[in-house]
Structure 1
Amino acid sequence: MVIYVVEDDTSILKLIEYSLKSKEYEVTCFENGKDFFEKLSQDIPDLVLLDIMLPDIDGIKILKRLKENPMTSKIWVMMITAKTSEYDTISALDLGADDYIKKPFSVMELLSRVGAVQRRVELNDDNKNLLEFNGIVIDELKRTVTIDGEISFFTYKEYELLKYLILNRDIVISREKLLSYIWGYSYEGETRTVDMHIKLLRDKLGDKRKYIKTIRGVGYMLSIRG
């Protein structure tokens, strides 16, 4: 299991890192939110151990950003905090934290809680590979798309475009952003490439083509709303 630890107390950070690595977890540590988000843009972990009190962005704000982003909303998050008020605990849980542990904590308690999260992660592994939107199902493990139970065949770009739209459902995405994300920042083509692939995607979606909304002068949005 891949774990990111965000904690600004160096001694606690080293203790957590040593303890988790002793159990053969893959661990990356950060002392601030900025470095954490830079790494997160490259690789997604299974679990984040997140301190509330950080030098740049507090943990509650980081948690909120994680849960609001479709790309990171399914990451398991365990809050680590010296705060003892009921308000902080409830706030974190209300925002989607999966567990919390209060300082000072023992290594055995930490490993026990992380082990419990790992079992929950493994239990959800099968469903973790599925993205669903109103009868459209993407199996990321098999790289297949089914529409109302029937397999439909998509090219690589069509598949990636559909996946990105589903992950960002109800969010307006500009043509430029789609172009850079699907085709890469170095791609020198024009935004009409996106329009062409949207047309192909709509053709393959059949009746569900209506869910891809054209936002005039901006781009596209996948939504069941009118």
Structure 2
Amino acid sequence: MTDKGLILVVEDEPAISDLVRLYLQRDGFGVHVERDGPAGLAAARRLRPVACVLDIALPGFDGTEICRRLRADDDWTPVVFLTARDDEVDRIVGLELGADDYLTKPFSPRELVARLRAVLRRSSGRPEPDRSRAVGGVRLDPVTRTVTANGRALALTATEFDLLAHLMQRPGRVFTREELLSAVWGYAAHGGTRTVDVHVAQVRAKLGDDATVIRTVRGVGYACATS
């Protein structure tokens, strides 16, 4: 049964792609696999999957280029990167391109499925009892999952939206990076708190002149301004 939607997996190592396919199909997803960058990009545009799992090192061009081109097309399909490069630079570059999460090889296929579930929950929107929130010129609507800054619509990834929404839910309340990882990403410090810093930087960049709505509390974490 594939009632949860189609996942595009772009991975050139058959042993890994077969394992990922097996676990995703067991969880109820349809799976389409491609082996190189150009074919992966074409499949993403043609098939419109609910999420993409992209290896970074691919023939043709790498997974980061697939993500870059999708975002340039204003396609915000959730993206999870797989990488054998266990260093911070690759992780940060991937997230700055608009990826929602990443896993470093070797990885647990069960964890990948759990991460995808979390990303898809964020992208589909979680029921929220409260109404729109506004701080300064920034307005966030949790029902339509839209954000405007002085009337200008912002294109946020699902993760960026949930990060901003969590901060705006309690203006003035200081959240540690570990708290934000747990609340927004759904896992604790295992993911590395630098992930939070990168996403905050990306949200601020998109807010432009309204970036001060997110306040850094040195040595602690982040808070939403109160006005």
TM tier relative to shorter chain: 0.5 to 0.7
1:3 aligns with 2:7: yes
Higher relative contact order (CA 8 A, sep 6+): 2
CA contact (8 A) 2:37 2:61 kept: yes
TM value normalised by structure 1: 0.53
The residue identity in structure 2 corresponding to 1:100 is: Y
Residue 86 of structure 1 is matched in structure 2 by 88
Give CA deviations for 1:42-86 in whole Å, capped at 9, x if unaligned.
Answer: 22111110000001111111111111112x2x1110000110111
Unaligned runs of 5+ in 1: 137-226
Larger Rg: 1
- 1: distance between equivalents of 2:122 and 2:71? 18
SS at match of 2:46: coil
Larger CA deviation: 3-12 vs 106-115: 106-115
Instruction: Give distance in 2, aligned partners of 1:124 and 1:48.
Output: 20
CA distance in 2, matches of 1:97, 1:44: 16
Q: Give the SS at the match of 1:64.
A: helix
Residue in structure 1 matching 2:97, options 86, 95, 98: 95
The one-letter amino acid paired with 1:39 is A
Do 2:81 and 2:94's aligned partners in 1 also have CA atoms closer than 8 Å? Answer: yes
Maintained 8 Å contact 1:6/1:51: yes
Segments of structure 2 that go 5 or more residues without pairing to the other structure are 128-142, 154-227
The 8 Å contact of residues 9 and 31 in structure 2, kept in 1 or not, is answered as yes
Give the corresponding residue for 1:127: 144
* Counterpart code for 1:97: A
Following superposition of structure 1 onto structure 2, how do residues 166-185 of structure 1 map, counting pairs within 5 Å?
Answer: none
Q: Does 2:70 match 1:66? A: yes
CA distance, structure 1, for counterparts of residue 66 and residue 125 of structure 2 = 26
The size of the alignment, in residue pairs, is 132
Local SS of the residue matching 1:42: helix
CA distance in 2, matches of 1:114, 1:57: 23
1:7·1:54 contact (CA, 8 Å) conserved in 2? yes
Q: Which amino acid aligns with 1:64?
A: R
Q: How does 1:1-226 map to 2 (within 5 A)?
A: 1-70=5-74, 72=75, 74-123=76-125, 127=144
How far the C-alpha of 1:12 sits from its partner, in A, is 0.1
Tell me the distance in 1 between the aligned counterparts of 2:152 and 2:88: 41
Change (3 A) 1:43 1:124: farther
Q: After superposition, give the CA deviation of every residue in 1:70-116 in whole Å (9 maximum; x if it has no partner).
A: 2x2x1110000110111000001111110000100112211211111
Distance 1:51 1:41 in 2: 17
Structure 1 CA distance, aligned partners of 2:109 and 2:73?
Answer: 31
SS at match of 1:5: strand
Give the TM-score, by structure 2 length: 0.53
